[in-house]
């Protein structure tokens, strides 16, 4: 029976690039959980992956649609006309997702629009575009943008990039595939402080898929792993043991009545069961770690070290990699645990 369920999952996530997704691999992974939970886990993940796994073909389609949308948004006659005024930032390290997205973008430009990335922005620069796969905590995007804003403009050496945008009444367009609403609000706040004005005057954000994880927002979907507040004492002792965590304890748990309507899991009851399985297994994994150097690492994934929470709980996966903000049961690869998704250039 597990093999049949695993086959359904292979059909969804089979193009993941960092390890071969076979029925045997998925069965081996799920067999690390208690026997009564294994079929249930695969059942739930079949539905979840169907909504949250982004294959290479889907990412290709999203980038193409972004180009078409932006060209229309800025009143161009064609995508090719828009590209003549578009500058795509290349500011991340070699192993980061931006490089892969730009490579895919170049493929799209050549196949679909008979041009190439090297020819973009050859006319007057009017649109600066930052691509990334996911805005999670917002840390990576904030630091990337902070450095770029402070850097010298390639088009006017007497100005920083920020000053160039302001002088020419331009904005930076940030296009991500997935955006967490809490992370976005953090980035918006920090950029506003950095720029000493409302960030929206300088930066415009676009997202294809949204994870509504801001507990303080009205009617948030909470479409990620976000355990309810009825937890064993072991969980509360763990939270109180976090050395650097001093903020947002009021966001550690959701109430059973939230979200008002379940959109990701098969039912509110199954959501609670799966969240608790992932949480307790994540705690079990971390117990075997003698010296956890990453202070933001939690059973439900990486978060800001000062957050007194159980992890971000991200449920977003792409063909090239998955965020370490996902619950660690998906990607942890030591202390006798075998991951479902092997991570690229992270651990």
Angle separating helix axes 181-195 and 139-150, nearest 10 degrees = 20
The per-residue pLDDT for 346 is 59
In which band, very low, low, confident or very high, does the pLDDT at 347 lie, cut at 50, 70 and 90?
very low
Give the 3-state secondary structure of residue 153: coil
Tens of pLDDT along 166-200? 999 999 999 999 999 999 999 999 999 999 999 99
In which band, very low, low, confident or very high, does the pLDDT at 44 lie, cut at 50, 70 and 90?
very high
60 falls within a domain: no
Which parts of 53-102 are beta strand (E)?
A: 53-54, 86-88
For the cut 50, the answer to whether the pLDDT of residue 123 exceeds it is yes
Contact 38, 26 (CB under 8 A): no
Does 83 share its domain with 173? yes
325 falls within a domain: no
Does 85 share its domain with 201? yes
Does 196 share its domain with 242? no
CB atoms within 10 A of CB 136: 27
Does 207 share its domain with 226? no
Domain extent at residue 18: 2-55+222-313
Give the whole-angstrom CA distance, residue 241 versus residue 225.
21
Nearest in space to 191 (alpha carbons), one of 137, 151, 141: 141
139 falls within a domain: yes
What one-character-per-residue DSSP string does 205-272 give? EEEEEEE---TTSTT----S---BS---HHHHHHHHH-SS--B-GGGS-B-TT-SSS--SSS-HHHHH
Based on the structure, what is the number of domains in the chain? Answer: 2
Nearest in space to 326 (alpha carbons), one of 185, 175, 224: 224
Neighbour-count burial of 159, counting CB atoms closer than 10 A to its CB (0-12 exposed, 13-18 middle, 19+ buried): middle
Does 81 share its domain with 188? yes
100 falls within a domain: yes
65 falls within a domain: no
Question: Which residues are CB-neighbours of 331 under 8 A, at least 6 positions away?
Answer: 322, 324, 339, 340, 341, 342, 343
Question: Which residues are CB-neighbours of 1 under 8 A, at least 6 positions away?
Answer: 39
Give the whole-angstrom CA distance, residue 25 versus residue 10.
10
* Cβ burial 303-335 (10 Å sphere, 16+ → b, else e): bbbebbbbbbbbbbbbbbbbbbbbbbbbbbeee
Angle separating helix axes 35-52 and 2-13, nearest 10 degrees = 20
- DSSP 8-class letter at 24: H
343 falls within a domain: no
Neighbour-count burial of 37, counting CB atoms closer than 10 A to its CB (0-12 exposed, 13-18 middle, 19+ buried): middle
Contact 137, 305 (CB under 8 A): no
Tens of pLDDT along 225-270? 999 999 999 999 999 999 889 999 999 999 999 999 999 999 999 9
The per-residue pLDDT for 335 is 80
Give the whole-angstrom CA distance, residue 342 versus residue 175.
26
Q: Show which of 184, 211, 238 is a domain's final residue.
A: 211
Does 236 share its domain with 204? no
The per-residue pLDDT for 55 is 98
For the cut 80, the answer to whether the pLDDT of residue 314 exceeds it is yes
Does 83 share its domain with 207? yes
Does 241 share its domain with 170? no
Does 87 share its domain with 180? yes
In which band, very low, low, confident or very high, does the pLDDT at 290 lie, cut at 50, 70 and 90?
confident
44 falls within a domain: yes
342 falls within a domain: no
Tens of pLDDT along 49-102? 999 999 999 999 999 999 999 999 999 999 999 999 999 999 998 888 999 999
Does 145 share its domain with 84? yes
Nearest in space to 175 (alpha carbons), one of 262, 104, 88: 88
Does 93 share its domain with 28? no
Q: What backbone phi and psi angles, to 5 degrees, belong to 77?
A: -75, -30
Does 79 share its domain with 164? yes
Question: Which residues are CB-neighbours of 87 under 8 A, at least 6 positions away?
Answer: 120, 121, 125, 127, 128, 129
């Amino acid at each position: 029976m597990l093999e049949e369920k695993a086959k359904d999952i292979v059909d969804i996530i089979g193009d993941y690039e960092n390890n071969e997704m076979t029925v045997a691999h998925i069965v081996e992974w799920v067999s690390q959980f208690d026997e009564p939970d294994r079929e249930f886990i695969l059942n739930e993940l079949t539905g979840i992956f169907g909504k949250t796994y982004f294959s290479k073909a889907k990412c290709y389609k999203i980038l193409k649609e972004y180009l078409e949308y932006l060209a229309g948004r800025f009143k161009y006659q064609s995508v090719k006309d828009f590209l003549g005024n578009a500058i795509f930032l290349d500011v991340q390290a070699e192993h980061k997702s931006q490089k892969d997205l730009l490579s895919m973008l170049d493929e799209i430009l050549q196949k679909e629009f008979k041009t190439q990335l090297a020819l973009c922005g050859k006319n007057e620069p009017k649109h600066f575009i930052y691509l990334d796969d996911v805005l999670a905590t917002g840390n990576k995007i904030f630091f990337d943008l902070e450095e770029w804003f402070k850097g010298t403009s390639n088009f006017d050496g007497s100005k920083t990039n920020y000053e160039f945008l302001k002088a020419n009444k331009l904005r930076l367009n940030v296009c991500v595939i997935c955006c967490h609403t809490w992370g976005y609000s953090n980035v918006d706040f920090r950029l506003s402080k950095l720029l000493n004005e409302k960030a929206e005057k300088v930066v415009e954000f676009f997202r294809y898929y949204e994870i509504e994880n801001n507990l303080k927002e009205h009617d948030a979907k909470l479409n990620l792993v976000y355990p309810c507040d009825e937890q064993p004492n072991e969980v509360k002792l763990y939270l109180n043991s976090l050395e650097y965590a001093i903020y947002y304890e009021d966001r550690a748990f959701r109430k059973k009545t939230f979200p008002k309507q379940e959109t990701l899991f098969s039912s509110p009851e199954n959501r609670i069961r799966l969240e608790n399985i992932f949480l307790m297994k994540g705690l079990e994994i971390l117990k075997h770690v003698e010296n956890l150097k990453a202070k933001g690492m939690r059973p439900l994934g990486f978060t800001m070290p000062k957050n007194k929470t159980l992890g971000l709980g991200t449920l977003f996966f792409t063909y090239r990699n998955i965020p370490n903000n996902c619950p660690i049961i998906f990607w942890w690869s030591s202390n006798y645990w075998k991951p479902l998704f092997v991570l690229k250039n992270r651990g």
